[in-house]
Every structure is written in C-alpha cells, then in structure tokens.
A and B are shown apart, each in its own frame.
Chain A
Amino acid sequence: MDTKKMAIIATKGTLDWAYPPFILASTAAALGYETQIFFTFYGLQLVRKDLSVLKVSPLGNPGMPMKMPFGPKWFKSINWNMPNAIQAIIPGYENVATALMKQTIANTGVASIPELRELCQEAEVKFIACQMTVELFGFEHSDFIDGLEYGGAATFFEFAGETDICLFI
C-alpha cells in the first residue's frame, strides 16, 4: 500500500489558530501519513524561534468564551465577554487574555504549541516557509527555527498534488 499523504497550508498567526495545523500534522504522522505544512502569511509566526509572539485576541471574536482558569467552579463558569469597544481601550487586554488561555491550556492537559511543534518535527513532518512572505514581512531566515525549507507556490503543489488530504487553515 502506498503511504498516505497530507498537506496543510497554515495561514494564521495566533495562539488559537496555531493548534489545528500542529495537531492534525502530528496526528497524521502518528497514523503513518507523510505530512507537510506550508507556512505562509501570518502562518510564518508558527515557525518563529520565539513562539511567545503568539497571542490570542478576544477582540472581534464573538466565538471565544472568556472564562477564568482558576477559582471555584461557579466562578470558572462565568463568561466575561465584554463589548469590543471596551476591550479595545484596555491596555494589555490581549496579553491578559493570552496568559489566561495558556493557563487554561495547561489546566486541561492540552499540549503547548512548542511541544506540539516539536512532536511534529520528531515525527518528520516537513515544514516549508513561503519565501515570498518572508520577504514581504521583512523577516530574516535567522528568525525561524532550523530545519525549515523555503519555497513558493510551485514547491507546495509538487507535494500537494499527490496528497490524499489537503487543508487550508
């Protein structure tokens, strides 16, 4: 039987959206898929050496529950959603939301992004960074982790054209 293949295009650069590509790629690798992720536009943030750049913002995100990761159960179940206009004027709101989310992640036994990324690399998931967006955003190759390959759309299609599953995230 031929090895199954999966390709993902990762386009988002926030902490929440870092999960789907790394979860799916690491799991696919565990299931025996040959897997590749093409990081482009904001997705480039996911292959930075410094992953502390990843934040989550509740601003303009009505689907995000805002719950506290500590305290008694009744307190944790309160939803602290507030109007966008108020969120926007509180300094450091995004940093607080990110810190709370990281605490919730740790509390629920969900892997951290650095851990999932490392698991992908251990499982030999191939990472390709879009050279065009590297230049567009003024990044240097030294901003990114080792083991990345740099390429363009044609590089993506070379592998994607042979895949069983191809996702845009």
Chain B
Amino acid sequence: MNFDKELDARGLNCPLPILRAKKALGEVTSGQVLKILSTDPGSVKDFAAFAKQTGNELLSTAEAGGEFTFFMKKK
C-alpha cells in the first residue's frame, strides 16, 4: 500500500504509539496515508479506537511475527 509518511513505534508501549501517531498525522495533509509500525499488542484495539474517535480512517491492520502494521488515512 502506498503511504506518505512512516512512523516506527516499535518497542514503545501504551500510550506512546497513539501519541506519536497523533503527532505524525499532524505532519501530513488531509487524505494522505500514515504507515505505523508497532510491537505493542494493545495497539491493535487502540488504533481502531483512535480512528473511530478522531475520524481518521484505519485502512488496514496486519500482524506478522509479533509486529503490527497499520495504515491510517488522515481525515
């Protein structure tokens, strides 16, 4: 999937992946896509909840070998 910015939040724990993502989304424009890497298992539900509450669209969530990849489109 194409993306405009990447955030490496691997090794970080709650709530840092969300806070960093919020900051990174502030650095892209509406409609652009942020790719987020995380190793926090809690971030799966958290990014879904973040998207739901902020209106940014969670395009996909994937897991491979304990690493999570999210694509989020800025509102």
Contacts and interface: CB of A to CB of B under 8 A. Distances in A.
B16 A31 contact: no
Contacts of B11: 109
A27 B19 contact: yes
Interface residues of A, number: 12
Interface in B50-75: 50, 53-54
Contact of A119 (B13, B14, B19, B21): B19
Contacts of B16: 109, 111
A30 B18 contact: yes
A19 to B, nearest CB: 10
A131 B59 CA distance: 48
Nearest to B11: A109
Contact of B13 (A27, A31, A32, A110): A110
A60 to B, nearest CB: 27
Contacts of A31: 50, 53-54
A111 B53 contact: no
B15 interface: yes
Interface in A107-130: 108-111, 119, 123
Interface residues of B, number: 15
A109 B12 contact: yes
A27 B42 CA distance: 14
Interface of B: 11-16, 18-19, 21-22, 39-40, 50, 53-54
Given A32-B54, A111-B13, A111-B15, 17 more contacts: A23-B14, A23-B15, A26-B19, A27-B15, A30-B15, A30-B18, A30-B21, A30-B50, A31-B50, A32-B53, A109-B16, A109-B40, A110-B13, A111-B12, A111-B16, A119-B19, A123-B19
12 contacts: A23-B14, A27-B15, A30-B15, A30-B18, A30-B22, A31-B53, A31-B54, A108-B13, A109-B12, A110-B13, A111-B12, A123-B19
